[in-house]
Amino acid sequence: MSGTTATRTLTYREALREGLRDALRADERVFLMGEDVGAYGGSFGVSRDLLGEFGPERIRDTPLSESAFTGAGIGAALGGMRPIVEVMTVNFSLLALDQIVNNAAAIAHMSGGQFAVPLVVRMTTGAGRQLAAQHSHSLEGWYAHVPGLKVLAPGTLEDARGMLAPALADPNPVLIFEHGSLYGLEGSLTDPPAEVALTGAAIRRPGSDVTLVAYGGSLPKALDAAETLAADRIDAEVLDLRALRPLDDAAVLASVARTHRVVVVDEAWRTGSFAAEVVALVAERALYELDAPPERVCSVEVPIPYAKHLEDAALPSAERIAAAARRTVGR
């Protein structure tokens, strides 16, 4: 029957794959390129089976040169295509930093609006999987510093599936950061999928005592912390930023105005973190709404350890988030 919806259980990884498949089916200009995205199915299995369905012209394995294939993606976007560039992990994007920051982000401005770069770059971010110091970075805050880029951090299955379509429709480059700890996350999705906005924060749990601001891989930890706090009769609101650039200032300020306390969770290191940007926003524009100093829960400032117990100790946890929230309410 037309107009009916169905619900299915699938993983975050599968939701991303469905978003890719939908985009490839909808527009012949769309293609995926990156290391091992073809026959291997992607380093994290996101593009599995897409090569057989769409062929090597649209699912393109590339040489091990992030600068080269990101640059190729920029050229394809300038030429009218809609490329999706997959960078295996965020640390490898540093090898394409010149292409992303000096070229993709700047071309529209430097050409006086004559040229657009409708490029999507997907990459895995974050720690928690024992990949040690070189493959556990959270650098999305670095990219959120750059005008000309949009920076997305889907933390739910709905966003994982739905953010790609509006990202491809955007005339400017969009970076999508997929937290590696979420790939196996299971949940329900409806068919047909609901439309997803490219930007704008979302309240994932309403509350009245303290705002927990999170995004991406930190969102489940914030939700777990809110459950723990509820047992102590502390009503935490969980705000999912969803996009770091543009940041939804209004949603952050509105939540703080309701709860009068804020804890910002960010897996990046504390110094110069995106959490500092959010706290600065609150201090500049909602200082007199606060009943307690803002709190930040970030990673310990060491290269992320390989040993599991040390890695866990270095990262934000639900326990650390709950403890910070208790401090804001004086418990």
Q: What is the CATH number of the domain that holds 74?
A: 3.40.50.970
Give the mean model confidence (pLDDT) for residues 289-304.
98
SS (H, E, C) 189-237: EEECCCCCCCCCCEEEECCCCEEEEECHHHHHHHHHHHHHHHHCCCCEE
The number of C-alpha atoms within 13 Å of 181 and in the hemisphere containing its C-beta is: 20
Q: Domain check: are 184 and 208 in the same one? A: no
Report the CATH number at residue 290. Answer: 3.40.50.920
Asked whether residue 1 is domain-assigned, the answer is no
Q: Domain check: are 125 and 222 in the same one? A: no
Given 156, 191, 226, the domain boundary residue is 191
Which is catalytic among the residues 135, 137, 179, 260? Answer: 135
Q: Domain check: are 187 and 220 in the same one? A: no
Asked whether residue 234 is domain-assigned, the answer is yes
Q: Domain check: are 18 and 80 in the same one? A: yes
Q: What pLDDT shows up at residue 83? A: 98
Q: Domain check: are 262 and 177 in the same one? A: no
Return d(Cα 117, Cα 167) in angstroms, integer.
12
Q: Domain check: are 221 and 173 in the same one? A: no
Question: What pTM, to 2 d.p., does this model score?
Answer: 0.96
158 flagged as catalytic: no
Q: Domain check: are 232 and 183 in the same one? A: no
- Residue-range definition of the domain harbouring residue 146: 7-191
Which residue type, as a one-letter code, is found at position 22?
Answer: D
In this prediction, residue 170 has a pLDDT band, given cuts at 50, 70 and 90, of very high
Q: Domain check: are 83 and 181 in the same one? A: yes
Residue for token pair 């914030």: 222
- The secondary structure of residue 98, as a DSSP letter, is I
Total domains in the fold of the chain: 2
Which is catalytic among the residues 14, 66, 158, 178? Answer: 66
In this prediction, residue 1 has a pLDDT band, given cuts at 50, 70 and 90, of very low
pLDDT of residue 222 exceeding 70, the answer is yes
DSSP 3-state assignment of 88? strand
Give the mean model confidence (pLDDT) for residues 26-40.
97
Asked whether residue 2 is domain-assigned, the answer is no
Return d(Cα 233, Cα 238) in angstroms, integer.
15
Asked whether residue 96 is domain-assigned, the answer is yes
Asked whether residue 197 is domain-assigned, the answer is no
Q: Domain check: are 306 and 240 in the same one? A: yes
In degrees to the nearest 10, what's the CA dihedral of 311, 309, 312, 124?
50
Residue 85 has a CB neighbour count (10 Å cut-off) of 32
135 flagged as catalytic: yes
Asked whether residue 236 is domain-assigned, the answer is yes
